[in-house]
């Protein structure tokens, strides 16, 4: 998959299309490797001299090797493509820092999960329509259950009174 930096945009597009077509193979290899870790039936019967455990190990090793090889190739090719874009001046060699003032950290530290000063808890506390609606539904259900129980008790009381 990896090749020297291509000279034309058409070459870059062909390389990216090749990368795109390798993604299903990567995902399939990962799926087969995970499947080999379970008791699920194997896609092909094991060799006559293999135990079921050995067959699962063989399939796991083959698929993990394929997975890691393809992921490594994908990463290397994407790095080459990024370098080609940098050389062409399409993307900057260094990512720009947005919102960095004199007092802020120039290292680009991520705070609050990337949300900065935004307080999600404060926003969530201002709108709780779903919680209130669910509370009302639960209260109606409790009322129905209690009324059913009260009516059931009244029916039993009436039966007892008839026997007296």
All residues at 6 or more sequence positions from 60 whose CB lies less than 8 Å from its CB, including other chains: 33, 36, 37
Q: Of the given ranges (26-40, 42-56, 113-127, 143-157), which has the lowest mean pLDDT?
A: 113-127
Cα separations in angstroms, 73 against 4, 26, 68, 78, 142: 13, 11, 9, 9, 60
Q: Cα angle vertex 40, ends 36, 46, to 5°?
A: 65
Residues 6+ apart with CB under 8 A from 48: none
- CA–CA distance, 19 with 73 (Å, rounded to integer): 9
164: helix, strand or coil: coil
The mean pLDDT of 5-33, rounded to a whole number, is 83
- Considering only residues 40 and 70, tell me which one the structure prediction assigns the higher pLDDT: 70
The 10s digit of each residue's pLDDT in 71-109 is 999 999 988 888 887 887 777 777 665 555 544 455 556
Residue 33 has a CB neighbour count (10 Å cut-off) of 19
Q: Is the per-residue pLDDT at 42 higher than 90?
A: no
| Structure tokens, 151 | 């009516």
The CA-atom distances, in angstroms, between 156 and each of 54, 139, 151, 152, 162 are 67, 26, 9, 6, 10
């Amino acid at each position: 998959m990896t090749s020297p930096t291509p000279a034309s945009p058409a070459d870059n597009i062909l390389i990216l299309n090749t990368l795109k077509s390798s993604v299903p193979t990567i995902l399939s290899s990962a799926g087969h490797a995970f499947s080999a870790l379970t008791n699920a039936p194997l896609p092909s019967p094991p060799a006559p001299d293999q135990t079921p455990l050995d067959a699962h190990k063989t399939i796991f090793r083959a698929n993990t090797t394929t997975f890691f090889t393809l992921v490594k190739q994908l990463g290397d090719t994407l790095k080459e493509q990024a370098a080609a874009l940098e050389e062409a001046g399409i993307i900057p060699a260094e990512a720009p820092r947005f919102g960095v003032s004199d007092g802020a950290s120039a290292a680009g530290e991520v705070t609050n999960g990337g949300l900065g000063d935004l307080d999600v808890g404060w926003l969530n506390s201002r709108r709780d329509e779903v919680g209130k609606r669910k509370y009302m539904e639960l209260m109606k259900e409790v009322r129905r259950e209690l009324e059913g129980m009260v009516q059931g008790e009244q029916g039993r009381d009436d039966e007892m009174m008839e026997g007296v």
